[in-house]
Structure 1
Amino acid sequence: MNATVNENCIGCGLCAGVCPEVFSMGDDGFAHGGEVPAELLDTAQEARDGCPVSAISLSD
């Protein structure tokens, strides 16, 4: 499973705060996703669902 962050990101940092193992804030001020280990799927989904601009996608 992979997490991606699209151009809607406003750089609020919520995802990185909820699931720092998957999401990080880049030097560009925006969030970046990555590979989602199976044991962190629930937390990554929580970050996705909490995103105020629906910028996060989870896909296989």
Structure 2
Amino acid sequence: MAITKVWIEEGCTACGLCEEICPEVFKMEDEATVIEGVNYSDYEEAIQEAAENCPVEVIKFE
């Protein structure tokens, strides 16, 4: 399954874990954001790991 969309729902606590796991896709500012224009399928494992390890479970992908 190729990941084509990644987003962060409300409730991010800005812990920075997603950026630590996958800085190619996630950027930390006031809260985590998803970097646009990235070929998400290149980073599928890291995106899934970031979503699984998110303490508030707000990272979503399809």
Give the TM-score category using the shorter length. Answer: 0.7 to 0.9
Structure 1 unmatched runs, 5+: none
Structure 1 equivalent of residue 32 of structure 2? 31
Give the TM-score of the pair, scaled to structure 1. Answer: 0.84
Structure 1 equivalent of residue 55 of structure 2? 52
The structure-2 alpha-carbon separation of the partners of 1:12 and 1:53, relative to structure 1 and needing over 3 Å to count, comes to: same
Give the 4+ runs in structure 1 shifted more than 2 A: 34-37
Q: Percent identity?
A: 35
Query: Deviation per CA, 1:11-55, whole angstroms, max 9, x where unpaired?
Result: 0000000000000012xx100114452121111000000000001
Structure 2 unmatched runs, 5+: none
- Corresponding pairs, count: 57
Give the TM-score of the pair, scaled to structure 2. Answer: 0.81
